[in-house]
Amino acid sequence: MTQQPCATVTGLILSGGGARAAYQVGVLKAIAHLLEGEPQHNPFAVIVGTSAGAINAVGLACGALRFAEATRNLAHVWQNFHTEQIYRSDWPGVLSQVGRFTLRHLFGLAGKTPLALLDNRPLSQLLREKLDFSGISAAVRKRALQAVAITAFGYESGQAVTFYQGRATLAPWLRHRRIGVPTRLDLPHLLASAAIPMIFPPVKVDGQYYGDGALRQSAPISPALHLGATRILVIGVSGNLSEEQVENPLITGEFPPTLAQIGGHMLGSSFIDSLETDLEVVERLNLLARLLPEETRIQQGLREVEVLTISPSKPLDTIAARYRHELPRALRPFFFGPGAMHSSGAAVLSYLLFEPGYCRELMALGWQDALRQREKLLPFLQQCTAFNHGEKNL
pLDDT in tens, the chain (394 residues): 333 445 689 999 998 888 999 999 999 999 999 988 665 678 999 999 998 999 999 999 999 999 999 999 999 999 999 999 998 888 888 778 777 777 776 666 656 667 778 889 999 999 999 999 999 999 999 999 999 999 999 999 989 999 999 999 999 999 888 899 999 999 999 999 999 887 888 999 999 999 988 777 666 888 999 999 989 999 988 755 445 444 455 455 554 565 555 555 556 655 555 667 777 777 777 676 777 777 776 666 667 788 899 999 999 988 988 998 888 888 777 665 555 555 556 778 888 899 999 999 999 999 999 999 999 898 778 755 444 333 444 4
User: Does any domain span residue 3?
Assistant: no
CB 272 within 8 A of CB 15: yes
> Is 47 inside a domain boundary?
yes
Residue 130 sits in a domain of what CATH number? 3.40.1090
Residue 58: inside a domain = yes
How far apart, in whole angstroms, are the C-alpha atoms of residue 274 and residue 342? 27
Residue 77 within any structural domain of the chain: yes
Distances (CA, A) of 13 to 78, 166, 225, 327: 19, 16, 11, 29
Cβ atoms of 228 and 166 within 8 Å: the answer is no
Which pLDDT belongs to residue 94?
78
Give residue 123's domain range.
10-239+258-336+343-383
Cα distances (angstroms) measured from residue 240 to each of 13, 34, 272: 19, 25, 12
**Nearest to 83, CA basis, from 74, 97, 94:** 94
Angle at 37 between CA 369 and CA 146, to 5 degrees: 75
User: Which pLDDT belongs to residue 345?
Assistant: 62
CB atoms under 10 Å from CB of 353, counted, come to 28
Model's pTM, two decimal places?
0.85
Query: Beta strand 46-50 with 306-310: parallel, antiparallel or unpaired?
Result: unpaired
Is 393 within the bounds of a domain? no
Quote the Cα angle for 145-56-350, to 5°: 155
**Secondary structure in 3-state letters for 175-244:** ECCEEEEECCCCHHHHHHHCCCCCCCCCEEECCEEEEEHHHHCCCCCHHHHHCCCCEEEEECCCCCCCHH
Spatial distance between the Cα atoms of 202 and 377, rounded to a whole number of angstroms: 37
pLDDT on residue 89? 84
> Is residue 170 in a domain?
yes
- The answer to the question of residue 248 being in a domain is no
Determine, yes or no, domain membership for 347. Answer: yes
Q: How many separate domains does the chain show?
A: 1
Is residue 51 part of the annotated active site? The answer reads yes
- Give CA 10 to chain center in angstroms: 17
Tell me, rounded to whole angstroms, the distance of Cα 149 from its chain centroid.
11
- Beta-bridge mates of residue 310: 235
Distance CA 185, CA 183 (A): 6
Predicted local confidence at residue 99, as pLDDT: 77
What's the confidence (pLDDT) of residue 368?
Answer: 97
Considering 15, 119, 137, 212, which one is annotated as catalytic? 212
What CA–CA distance (Å, rounded) separates 263 from 236?
A: 20
